[in-house]
Amino acid sequence: MQKKFEQILMPLATKLGNNVVLKSLRDGFLIITPLIIVTSTFLLIGNFPIPGWDSFWTGLLGKNWAEWFSAVSNSVFSFTGILSCMAIGYAYGKNRGLEAIHASVVALISFLILTPTSVSIGKETVGAVETIYVGPNGIFLGIFIAIISVELYRFAVKRNWTIKMPDGVPPAVSQSFDALIPSGLVILFFFLVHILFSISSYDTAYNFIYTLIQAPLKHVGNSLPSVLLYNFLASVLWVFGINGPTITNSVWSPIFFVLTQDNLKAYTNHLEIPHIYTQPFIDIFTTYGGGGSTLSLLIVMFVVCRSKRIRELGKLAILPGIFGINEPIIFGLPVVLNPIIAIPFIVVPVLNTFISGIVFTLGWVPKTTGVLLPWTTPPIISGWLATGSWTGSVLQLIEIILGIMIYYPFVKMLDHQYLDEEAAALEEDLNIDFNEV
- 304-347 tens-digit pLDDT: 888 888 888 888 888 888 888 887 888 778 887 788 888 899 99
Chain centroid to Cα 322, Å, comes to: 20
**Tally of helices (H runs) and strands (E runs) in the chain:** 21, 2
The verdict on 211 and 243 lying in the same domain is no
What does the pLDDT read at residue 379?
92
Candidates 246, 205, 249, 207; CA nearest to 227 is: 249
Whole-angstrom Cα distance, residue 94 to residue 20? 10
Chain centroid to Cα 246, Å, comes to: 9
User: Domain count of the chain?
Assistant: 2
Task: Could you list the beta-strand ranges (E) of 109-199.
Answer: 118-121, 124-127
The verdict on 206 and 243 lying in the same domain is no
Structural domain ending residue among the three candidates 178, 196, 221:
221
Q: Angle at CA 271, nearest 5°, toward 269 and 272?
A: 150
The verdict on 101 and 243 lying in the same domain is no
3-state secondary structure of 45: helix
What domain range is 401 assigned to? 237-430
The verdict on 241 and 351 lying in the same domain is yes
What does the pLDDT read at residue 252?
86
The verdict on 206 and 98 lying in the same domain is yes
Query: From residue 391, how far is each of 90, 175, 322, 356, 396 by CA, in Å?
Result: 41, 57, 20, 12, 9
Inside any domain, residue 227: no
The verdict on 255 and 145 lying in the same domain is no
Peptide bond into 334 cis (omega under 30): yes
125: left (phi over 0), alpha (psi -120 to 50) or beta: beta
Structural domain ending residue among the three candidates 221, 252, 286:
221
What pTM was estimated for this model as a whole?
0.76
What does the pLDDT read at residue 9?
61
Structural domain ending residue among the three candidates 168, 197, 221:
221
What does the pLDDT read at residue 332?
79
What does the pLDDT read at residue 361?
94
Q: What does DSSP assign to residue 204?
A: S
Cβ–Cβ under 8 Å, residues 385 and 373 = yes
The verdict on 217 and 249 lying in the same domain is no
Whole-angstrom Cα distance, residue 145 to residue 140? 9
Inside any domain, residue 203: yes
Where the chain has pLDDT below 70, the residues are: 1-14, 16-17, 122, 165-173, 425-437
